[in-house]
């Protein structure tokens, strides 16, 4: 069963549970005011503790300033996170982070995250 709840700063290290790996065969390039595509195989692997470290520290600072981290869970496993800073400027919030696992899990479809 899927659920969404607020996360505390001590839980942010759980972000490693999110599978952010992806691959594809098309790369977008911007040149001379135009977007073009090129067929090229690429892959991004799963992030480890070191790769998430800087993000986690920035997110903790956002929470200290009154921001919020929302976790999407499939059972007990974290499958998505959103971090929001409410007062970037007066009247403007900032979506600091949004990461979801892939592929969509049967009990928590991607539309729910």
Domains of the chain with bracketed CATH = 2-112 (3.40.630.30)
Is the pTM higher than 0.75? yes
What's the whole-number average pLDDT of the chain? Answer: 89
107 has pLDDT over 60: no
Burial 43-82 (b: 16+ CB within 10 A, else e): eeeebeeeebeebbeebbebbeeebebebbbbeeebbbbb
Identify whether the C-beta of residue 94 lies closer than 8 Å to the C-beta of residue 82.
no
For residue 106, what pLDDT is reported? 56
pLDDT at position 113, please? 46
Give the pLDDT confidence score for residue 88 in this predicted structure: 82
Strands (E), the chain: 2-7, 22-31, 34-44, 68-74, 77-89, 92-100
Looking at residues 42-47, what average pLDDT do you find? 90
Mean pLDDT, residues 44-68: 93
Retrieve residue 65's tokens.
């300033």
pLDDT at residue 109 greater than cutoff 60: no
């Amino acid at each position: 069963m899927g659920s969404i709840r607020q996360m505390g700063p001590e839980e942010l290290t759980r972000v490693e549970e999110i599978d952010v790996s992806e691959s594809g065969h098309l790369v977008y390039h911007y040149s001379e005011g135009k977007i073009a595509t090129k067929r090229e195989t690429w892959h991004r692997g799963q992030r480890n503790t070191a790769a998430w470290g800087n993000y986690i520290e920035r997110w903790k600072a956002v929470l200290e300033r009154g921001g919020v981290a929302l976790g999407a869970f499939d059972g007990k496993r974290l499958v998505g996170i959103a971090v929001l800073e409410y007062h970037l400027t007066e009247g403007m919030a900032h979506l600091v982070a949004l990461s979801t696992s892939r592929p969509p899990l049967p009990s928590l479809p991607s539309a729910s995250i």
